[in-house]
Chain A
């Protein structure tokens, strides 16, 4: 065998090793582009009703991606993402309801996540500057979310209003002003593409964030806060920032939900609604934004189907499925699937070049490029 051929085979090996080893900006971008393609094709493959329903799936996916940002990267087990989602929906309803119908919705679209972000900052101040353990934070966020639900349920009396908009208590807020496009309410298609755009931007942002300087810092803090602090990172400030960013993203999901359904109610912060983003992110892999997005879409589709077919055994199957998945695939399904496909990729890739180094290079791959994972 000539030297040139051997070198070519080695560089082919190296390519497949790199392809299989560790996340990279390139792979994230590729994945997001594939998802974008899928979402672009989707409306033309299904009925308008299914596109309409799919919009609500997209909003849930946005919340789940925010969960990954805050939990998977930030190390904060936050049960508050659903609460921020609800606040985004309520925020949009209140702001748009008080302004005129053409500019109001657009202003509300921008303002609602900002308002929620400020609220998250206020909440985060108490939580993070008290130097609680990251895990205990989770329970505090759970309690706060549930109490938000209790509060919203109590606002039934007519005296609970912000400007012109009644909070409505258990009934929620109805007839939320729609987004107007050239004078008429945005069509299903327009709303779909808008929501999908926000989702894809969010997921791309979160996925690429891991490679950014700030993202590396956040992950360092998540892994070991004391060590990161010794390196000079302002742990509390970083945590607060990521908490606020996650809140803004979740709120964005919420406001599109409000536009989609013209309706928001306290049922967005029940115990089940609040734990769902955590559970879906856990199952998908809590630091995998793209996997989490897909898991959220799949879950929503299943859930809607189960609701209309009325199978009461369905939730039992879901619960059992959850338990089984967590026992079998501790790092989340995303990691399990990725590892499987990875081995496949290496096997196919390296088989194409028969080299005496094949066996050895497979061992090499195990060491190369792997990060000391924090696992579960």
Chain B
């Protein structure tokens, strides 16, 4: 084939590219005078979509409920939720788009801590109001960020003492290899040691790994009393069927993300996900125990009859949107500075799983925590719960106080600021409603 070059084709090409770039990027409707756009950044496809889709649906449900009640400030709410495709770079790109181009008054979302940290600089640069609605490793002390998901003070500080009391002192941790996995492991280690136990093994696994034979061999060699899997994403959930076929039978497991986030108890055959303990703010089965949860579950399943589950993060997302709406009503405007003020004042809300209150010092949520447990047949029961657990390591130990000192940091446990329990935690039995 003859190789020729023509400046004409170049000229044509440039014009095309310019036109495309100029006409492009105009996919969302600008907020008109009769609608309010709210932004959501969740993974609707890719490795993290199992959870991302649930959060996306929860947001849609929240918007429906708000619009059915007359909207906000007389306007309808419109959910702008582009798919971040489980990709940190897309997360950033779409965050920029929502903040700079669409100028939404609030953004909800991000699943992994990596995603959150990828967009927090943009959030802070533009002083965007942002809700992080996933359970995570704690520590975010940011004037612009409010978190409704559970934190280690609520999940690790409750779980480890309970497990050690019942099962023994030797703990093995296998965690996803990124900041969430590392920091939550630090918490597990600190609480274990403070409770008189020991970490007999610790392993970090990349998010794309789906082959666990060598990990399983190492776990068995260490002979732990308790296994703490902190595994995230579709690929890593392959651990459970592999564990079921070659692991130790009935070894109790504890986690902050398994079952309550990725509903492994429905996806894998027993005994892959049997005997797992998870302290959580909400899971679908809570509907059998708490009337307000039942209402939420029924409404969700009515709108999304084909959805396999409603996890803790979906409920956090719903709570966040509802709380923001409350704050907007109180402020009388969607102006971000004013709404932030109201939120930071300590707003409270009756969520499907109990009362949720924003702690003014840390912008984190005080909530009730239920201990979920999967039986041999992988049915769910709730042995105990803890009421109104404070997320106050951040304020008591790390010194975060957003009421007096604006901040944009994530604090992590160090030698000077060790991870520790900062409050009395009393487990109370869970009574089934109507029994």
Contact = CB atoms under 8 A, between A and B. Distances in A.
Given A156-B177, A263-B118, A290-B10, A338 B4 contact: yes
Contacts of A342: 4, 6
Nearest to A291: B13
Nearest to B112: A170
Given A153-B208, A156-B178, A38 B14 contact: yes
A220 to B, nearest CB: 15
Contacts of A301: 17, 20-21, 24
B57 to A, nearest CB: 15
Nearest to A265: B88
Contact of B206 (A28, A153, A305): A153
Given A27-B5, A312-B45, A294 B13 contact: yes
B18 A373 contact: no
A214 to B, nearest CB: 20
Contacts of B44: 310
Contacts, number: 198
A139 to B, nearest CB: 20
Contacts of A370: 2-3
Contacts of B85: 307
B11 A34 contact: yes
Contacts of A21: 4
A2 interface: no
A175 B121 contact: yes
A192 to B, nearest CB: 12
Nearest to B82: A308
Interface stretch (B89-97, B320-328, B347-355): B89-97
Interface in A285-312: 287-288, 290-291, 294, 297-298, 301-302, 304-305, 307-310, 312
A326 B166 CA distance: 64
Contact of B22 (A23, A28, A45, A169): A45
B22 A50 contact: yes
A298 B88 contact: no
Nearest to B99: A49
B5 A31 contact: yes
A345 B114 contact: no
Nearest to B44: A310
Contacts of B14: 34-35, 38, 294
A267 B207 contact: no
Contacts of B127: none
Interface string A184-208: 0000000000000000000000000
B182 interface: yes
Interface stretch (A73-81, A99-107, A328-336): A328-336
Given A31-B10, A154-B177, A297-B17, A307 B25 contact: no
A93 to B, nearest CB: 13
Contacts of A54: 21
Given A169-B178, A305-B25, A23 B5 contact: yes
Nearest to A45: B22
B7 interface: yes
B9 interface: yes
A172 interface: yes
Contacts of B182: 156-158
A375 B2 CA distance: 8
A297 B21 contact: yes
A263 B121 contact: yes
By CB atoms of chain A within 10 A, which of B3, B25, B83, B94 has the most? B3
B12 interface: yes
B177 A27 contact: no
Contacts of B16: 294, 298
A52 B9 CA distance: 27
Contacts of A371: 3
A38 B17 CA distance: 9
Interface string A141-156: 0000000001001101
A42 B10 CA distance: 16
B24 A261 contact: no
A290 B14 CA distance: 10
Nearest to A175: B121
A10 interface: no
B391 interface: no
Contacts of B120: 174
Contacts of A158: 182
B82 A170 contact: no
Contacts of A42: 18, 21
A370 B1 CA distance: 9
Nearest to B3: A373
A49 B1 contact: no
Contact of B1 (A172, A288, A307, A335): A335
A218 interface: no
Interface in B4-62: 4-18, 20-22, 24-25, 27-28, 44-45
Given A174-B118, A301-B24, A341 B3 contact: no
B235 interface: no
A268 interface: yes
Given A23-B5, A158-B182, A373-B2, A35 B121 contact: no
A169 B179 contact: yes
Given A294-B17, A330-B1, A172 B7 contact: no
Contact of B3 (A153, A267, A287): A287
A96 to B, nearest CB: 15
Contact of B92 (A22, A34, A46, A263): A263
A330 B157 CA distance: 62
B25 A49 contact: yes
Contacts of B28: 308
A50 B25 contact: yes
A276 interface: no
Contacts of A52: 96, 100
Contacts of B2: 339, 366, 370, 373
A138 B133 CA distance: 43
A275 interface: no
Interface of A: 20-24, 27-28, 30-31, 34-35, 38, 41-42, 45-47, 49-50, 52-54, 56-57, 150, 153-154, 156-158, 168-172, 174-175, 261-263, 265, 267-268, 287-288, 290-291, 294, 297-298, 301-302, 304-305, 307-310, 312, 330-331, 334-335, 337-342, 344-345, 366, 370-371, 373, 375
Interface of B: 1-18, 20-22, 24-25, 27-28, 44-45, 82-83, 85, 87-90, 92-94, 96-97, 100-101, 113-114, 117-118, 120-121, 177-179, 181-182, 204, 206-208
Given A56-B93, A375-B1, 4 more contacts: A41-B18, A49-B25, A154-B177, A263-B121
8 contacts: A27-B6, A38-B15, A171-B179, A297-B17, A335-B3, A335-B4, A338-B9, A373-B2
Instruction: Kindly list the 10 A-B residue pairs having the minimum CB-CB distance in the complex, ordered from nearest.
Output: A170-B178, A31-B10, A38-B14, A294-B13, A171-B114, A309-B27, A23-B5, A341-B6, A337-B9, A49-B101
